[in-house]
A and B are shown apart, each in its own frame.
Chain A
């Protein structure tokens, strides 16, 4: 069974750094792109970027380029999303999702990680 299990909710202060994780199981982790999707409170879905764990090829949405870093450790089948200086506007639910083979839609999703940034 394909599963993506994300790390737990985080509460941080503005300016702090954060790294959240997404662990894949039940499939070949290195053979599928993993994407990150943001959902701000009461809002829609925004694709942030994706990584191919097999060779760490990474693509970012222009809206998020330079704002976050996506990485992966294939030895533990885990993808990461990190910030070096959080802002209050980073408060959101972040989902990881597996991209289906060579097509760009997402067939399996993690449960989401709630990030709250507040002073």
Chain B
């Protein structure tokens, strides 16, 4: 099973600033990685797939990069609605696995 480790657990950033969230895999996932956003009381929402492709309707301020074992989600200029929990998920091999999440909070 591939273990996904996200860091940091919590990230405090001011609105308008840039945030970089890290996801590390215990073995290569190639580019078979997705990022999701989850707000309290809501289901997760797909942001990024294929490590760097934005899902339909996702603003350009969200970008994904990396491949292999080191992947990053960057939010270029944080808006109030971006403060949430973010999860990475590998789908390179069964069983699919998620990271434990990064909580992005307002500084």
Contacts and interface: CB of A to CB of B under 8 A. Distances in A.
A104 B98 contact: no
A65 to B, nearest CB: 9
10 contacts: A45-B38, A45-B98, A45-B101, A47-B89, A104-B32, A105-B34, A106-B36, A106-B89, A107-B49, A112-B43
Nearest to B94: A59
Given A44-B99, A44-B101, A105 B91 contact: yes
A45 B87 contact: yes
Contacts of B87: 44-45
B-side binding surface: helix, strand, loop or mixed? loop
A110 B42 CA distance: 10
A29 interface: no
Given A44-B100, A95-B43, A107-B55, 18 more contacts: A35-B96, A44-B98, A44-B99, A45-B36, A45-B38, A45-B87, A45-B89, A45-B98, A45-B101, A47-B89, A47-B95, A61-B96, A104-B92, A105-B89, A106-B34, A106-B44, A109-B45, A111-B43
Q: How large is the interface on A (under 10, 10 to 19, 20 to 34, 35 or more residues)?
A: 20 to 34
A27 interface: no
B1 A45 contact: no
Interface of A: 35, 37, 44-47, 50, 59-63, 95, 97, 100, 103-107, 109-112
Nearest to A109: B43
A109 B98 CA distance: 15
Contacts of A97: 44
Interface string B30-57: 0010101010000111100110000100
